[in-house]
Amino acid sequence: MFGVNHYYSHAAILSQAAGFVLPQRIRGEIQHSFWESDKDLSNLNPSKFSKKLFLWGGSFLSDNKKHLQRLGFEVIPIGDPFLYFLKITNMKAPVARYDLFLPKYINGLQIQDRIKRHERALSIIENISPASLKVRLHHKDYANTLIQNIYKKRGIEILPGGEPSSLSWMEEYINQLNTLGTIYSEHLGSHILRASAMGIKSQLIGDSMRESKLNSVFELYSSVANFSNQVEFARFQLGFNYVRSQEELRYVLELESQQRRFNKALIFPMFDLYCKLKSS
């Protein structure tokens, strides 16, 4: 499992969905975040112990599956951890109370440049959003008083982005999403897709999102004409059709013993067939 899957509750959610206790070795790699180009996949090399590559979402399958197979991987989509969390918790539909701005955090960007990005994006949103706007800051921006002051002086309530290593990160995030009217963002990512999949209206603002490696997905998202299609688009991107039951997850992750897998694949079906023939 890629180390970053221990952030944002991904590994914790998978352990609940598949019924295992962390830490757990898995015979394969579990992808993290989005991959847009072959360049993003260039550092992947399957070993004799790890030829399976489990993908959270579904959007990259059509573009990247053949490339991954050429690298020697067996590609297995399992659906986004967010979808498993909704399934586990039986989360209710959102009740709109306020709009939320999710500014992008860029690693390595100097503080003055980060401040300019926040002010530029906020100037766009202030022209289209009602007074109920709140902002959710990345945990590193939340810890910076200069960035907090950008919003405080405008009377905008600031919500903490949460510590990525927290096992409850996804729960805290979804609880915040669950009271949204519209979510505004300057870049496309899983945060937008997850909100849309929950039935929350989402709007991309400005031109800075085009700096992202997700340009082709951004163009697709921007071309979605109405809200209902936006929801379906998000569900597809997150791999909604690939979400598996606990038994199915345990099977593909090879958490069952070899003997039990053999019994389920061959012995049990043969016994069922024997019983049917005997009773006929």
Q: What is the pLDDT of residue 208?
A: 47
Domains of the chain: 3-88+239-267 (no CATH), 93-226 (3.40.50)
Phi, psi values for residue 74, rounded to 5°: -95, 115
Q: What is the pLDDT of residue 38?
A: 47
Q: What is the pLDDT of residue 143?
A: 92
Per-residue pLDDT of the chain (280 residues), as tens digits, is: 455 566 778 888 888 888 887 777 777 778 765 554 444 555 666 665 467 888 877 655 555 667 777 777 788 888 888 888 888 887 665 566 778 888 877 777 889 999 998 998 888 887 776 568 889 998 899 999 999 999 999 888 899 888 887 878 888 888 888 877 888 887 777 788 888 888 888 877 765 444 444 455 555 565 555 666 778 888 888 888 889 999 999 888 888 664 455 556 666 677 667 666 766 6
Q: What is the pLDDT of residue 221?
A: 60
Q: What is the pLDDT of residue 192?
A: 80
Q: What is the pLDDT of residue 4?
A: 58
